[in-house]
Each structure stands twice: as structure tokens, then as C-alpha cells.
Amino acid sequence: MQLVDDQRILYNLFFSTQIKRQITYFHYLGQTTPFLSMTDNKKIHQLEKQLTDCENTHHIDIHLKIDTLNDLAWALSDSDFPRALTLAEQAHALSKSKQKGFDPYLLGVAYSLRTLGYLNGR
């Protein structure tokens, strides 16, 4: 049943105009890029530092942490399979949980499922 729910979320997510606006907005800000170069070591080190900063900060922006987990998992997907899988699973779990009364973070769910699908297809 979980897979069916995730597929329904993805279907609704990718065909909504709201998500297209969010992706465009994130591209504009240069924060979350869905098509990271998978071998960019400089980007990987930058994401590692950003994730460490998120974890060491008392007040965490949960969406930033999820986006960082997703970006790092995608960047590591060809070079460090076990770590990429762990990060993608963490991002998926955080994205689906209700944080401080907010609905699940659908963009985070979508990117974590993209990475999990890619990793499980290898």
C-alpha cells in the first residue's frame, strides 16, 4: 500500500502547476537543483558542510535539511551507494512526516523517491 500512496503523490505532484512554480523558484535561487552533476566533488563537499550545519543548528529549517539530504543523496548515487540510500531514506521519512503542524513536504517526497528509484534500479 505504501508504494501505491507514493506513486499517487508523485503523479499529483508532477502534474500540478504549483510544483512547477516551486521548482522554477528553487532554480532561480540556486538552492535545489534536481539534476546535480553526480561526480562533482566540490558540490558534494559543499552539501556535506551544509548538512552538518543543519544538524548543528538549534533551529532547523526542515525543508532546507530535506533538500540538502536529497541533493547529497543524488550527488552520491553513483559513487557511494550505501550512503546515498541512507540519505534518500532519511529525506523520504522526514518529508512524509508532519513537522510542526505542516503538511508533508511533497517536493522532498518526490526527489527522495527519484533517488530511491534510481538507486534500486542499479
Per-residue confidence band for 98, with pLDDT thresholds at 50, 70 and 90: confident
In this prediction, residue 61 carries a pLDDT of 82
| CA atoms of 61 and 58, how far apart (whole Å) | 10
- SS3 of residue 88 by DSSP: helix
**Other CB atoms within 10 A of residue 21 CB:** 10
In this prediction, residue 4 carries a pLDDT of 57
Structural domain count of the chain: 1
Per-residue confidence band for 119, with pLDDT thresholds at 50, 70 and 90: very high
The better pLDDT of the pair 54, 28 is held by 54
Cα torsion angle, 114, 117, 121, 122, sign: positive
Q: Which domain holds residue 112?
A: 2-120
In this prediction, residue 87 carries a pLDDT of 96
Q: Would the pLDDT of 25 be above 80? A: no
